[in-house]
Every structure is written in structure tokens, then in C-alpha cells.
Amino acid sequence: MSPSRSAQRNVRDVVFVDGVRTPFGKAGEKGIYAGTRADDLVVKCIRELMRRNPSLPPERIDEVAIAATTQTGDQGLTIGRTAALLAGLPRTVPGFAIDRMCAGAMTAVTTTASGIGFGAYDVVIAGGVEHMGNHPMGAGADPNPRFMSERLVDPAALNMGNTAENLHDRFPAITKDRTDSYAAASQAKLAAAYAKEQIQQDLVPVATMKPGQGWALHTTDEPPRPGTTVADLAELRTPFRAHGRVTAGNAAGLNDGATAAVLASAEAAEELGLPVKMRLVSYAFAGVEPEVMGIGPVPATEKALRNAGLGIEDIGLFEINEAFAVQVLSFLDHFGIADDDSRVNRYGGAIAVGHPLASSGVRLMNQLARQFEEDHSVRYGITTMCIGLGMGATVIWENPHHAAYQSFTADQATTATTEGAAA
């Protein structure tokens, strides 16, 4: 047997080094990014990551994975590679594009993290972008006619708002009053986080130019509506169903924005002097009925917990993407968590800040990493989201500031030293 075949391969620890995002904008002609290219938003994020981490040599980046749901135009042409070139990374740095709809950036993270764990990479950049003003969701799509002719899915499943109404049907205890209350709380929590400057630390300023208006510098998110009340939300129409329960106020909007993060092996982070904000513990994806895609985070979380040998009671912080309030509440109800539990979305969520589809996964990670830094009593947290066409995604992370993490890494170092001496 050759030495390469007999060599032992150990799975390596993967750490979240740093993450940034652009301010999120409203899609459409009046939005802050009207006339701005999607790939330029990604480039801003990559360049900011390199600026913030000067000890990371650009040539040490082994891969750039960028997600986009609509991979055409300024979101096409293998955007991971093109964004790497546009950002000024060495031409030796490869890149690729990835699509898992809303969980695109999350999948970019887990896919490249798997490569790190396997030993194929040491350091990667992973993220996502969605310019829904340039590329409205589903524009140009051509679903196979079998979906309709063979009733593979209900036609309503192709409209995310309809799937949220279906979730209300399945869980009648989740009333419109509950979803409106949750949505108003999301707006209030985001406003409080802005007041404490918990959001701004990871935002990349973006300059834009519009004909007749000149240049503008954007340093804050455009979608939030601070001061929103339940009474305000009660007046909104229900566009997906007459006398329905889903409105523009208790759902995420149509948004533009980009995110990116640096991940590394624990060894590479130590070698290069990079910060460690989180350690990846486990992740899982799951499929559900497309007609109720919002329930996807439930089986994904159950699977991720099983893989990690943890229970829901071990999770001290939850970052749940708020595509719809009903989707978040179905998750909380399943696990017996109160609507206003202080562990859930401490900085608010997508109902307030926006949800530029494929980019949102890294926003969740940024916010969880900040909360880990603030609260050393929490050991484990999760980032989770539902995904169009009936899927869910969950990633479990460990807080490096927790006392048990320090003892865990010390034990690992002792074991490695012992094994090395034995060899």
C-alpha cells in the first residue's frame, strides 16, 4: 500500500474568523442600490475583509464561494471567481458560484467549511449577494412543465407568500395578532441594536451614484421602520389571500445586499494570527413539503442537534432568518420557546433589516458572533433559515469566549502533543 493511501486523515476544526456585509437596501428604482451592480457589492465585502485582517496574505486564500439565487447578468459568470478577480485577489485564487435560494451564503459557508475540515483548504472567503432590484425573484425562470402537469408540487408552492399562508393554516394557534406582535418586536430590537452600535461594526460603507442626484455614501440599512406598532401592522392588506394573515409588515421585504466571511482551519487561524469568533460544531439541511417551506428549520435543526450530540436546551442563542413571522413562530412553538424569549434574534431580524435572499446566511452569522462576544455565558448558538421549494438549513456554532471552549482547546492541544510524541 502506498504511503498516501495508508496516511491517516483527521477532520480539522473550522473557525469563523470575520464577517461583513453591505447595508441592505430596498429593491426597486427608489432603493439605494438602483443602478449599482451586484458584483460590485460583493467586491466591497471582500476588500473590507482583507482590510480588516491585515495578517491574512491574499495568496493564502484557497477558495472564494459566492452565492446568488438568480445567476444571470451581474450575478452570473461564476460570481465567486469574477468577484475575486475584481477585488484584486491573486489570479491563483479560484472561485465558484453556488445556489440554494435563501440559504445560498449559508451553503457557501458549509461547503467551504467542509473543504477546510477535509484538508483541501486552509482559508476561504464565503458569502452571497442578491440584487432583487436588478433580478426580481423568479424572473426569467422556466419551471419544468411536469411540476404542474404531474402535480409534483402545488402551484402555490412557487409563491413564498402563499406557503406562509399555508403554514398559518397548518398551525391555527399562530394568529395574525401573534405575527404582528413578533414583527413589531423585531423592528424594536433592531432599533435598540443600532442605538447600541451593535450592527454598524460589520457594515461596509457603500458609495453609489445616481444620475441627477450625484454621489451618496450609505452606512446604514434602508428597510427598517423604527417605531412600528402592532396597530400600524394591523392596517396592512394581505396580498396573498383575501382576509389572510401574511402582510408586508410581518414578512421580509424585497431587498438588495451582499455579505462575505473568512473561515479558516483552527491551525491556520493560529498561524496567521487571525481572530476566532466562532467554531463550527455541526450543520444540516433538510427537505420538507414545498407547500409549507417555512417549517424547514425544524427538521434541519433536529438533524444538526443529533449530529452534534446536543439538545435544544443546550442552545443559548438563536439567529433565525425572519422570512415570515409565522415561520419563526412555528419553529419556536415546535421547540417550546416563547415568542419573546431573550435568546432569539437579540438584534432583530429580516422583517426589520431585510432579506436579500442568498446573502442572508452570513448576516445571521455576523450577528451571532457579536452576541457571543458580548455574552460569554453562552456556549452554543445556531443560525437557521427556511429555503424556497421546501428546505431548511441550520448551523450550530460554539462560543470561543466560553470557559468550556478554553478547556476544550487545551485538551485538544494536549492530545495532539501526546499523539505526536507516540508517533
Looking at residue 140, its pLDDT comes to: 84
CA distance 376 to 381: 12
Question: So what CATH class is 10-134+152-413?
Answer: alpha beta
Looking at residue 423, its pLDDT comes to: 47
What string of H, E and C letters represents the secondary structure of 34-47?
CCCCHHHHHHHHHH
Catalytic-labelled residue, pool 102, 131, 168, 401: 102
CA distance 79 to 417: 42
Per-residue pLDDT of the chain (423 residues; tens, 9 = 90+): 455 554 567 899 999 999 999 999 999 999 999 999 999 999 999 999 999 999 999 999 999 999 999 999 999 999 999 999 999 999 999 999 999 999 999 999 999 999 999 999 999 999 999 999 999 988 888 888 888 888 888 877 778 999 999 999 999 999 999 999 999 999 999 999 999 999 999 999 999 998 888 999 999 999 999 999 999 999 999 999 999 999 999 999 999 999 999 999 999 999 999 999 999 999 999 999 999 999 999 999 999 999 999 999 999 999 999 999 999 999 999 999 999 999 999 999 999 999 999 999 999 999 999 999 999 999 999 999 999 999 999 999 999 999 999 766 656 655 544 454 444
243 is annotated as an active-site residue: no
The backbone region for 265, taken as left when phi is positive above 0, alpha when psi lies in -120 to 50, beta otherwise, is: beta
CA distance 374 to 160: 35
Cα 181 versus chain centre, distance: 24
45 is annotated as an active-site residue: no
Beta-bridge partner residues of 66: 97, 127
Catalytic-labelled residue, pool 45, 135, 218, 386: 386
CA distance 194 to 200: 7
Contact between 297 and 384 under an 8 Å Cβ cutoff? The reply is yes
CA distance 24 to 252: 12
Count of beta carbons in the 10 Å neighbourhood of residue 413 = 10
Catalytic-labelled residue, pool 168, 355, 401, 402: 355
Beta strands 123-131; 255-265: pairing state: antiparallel
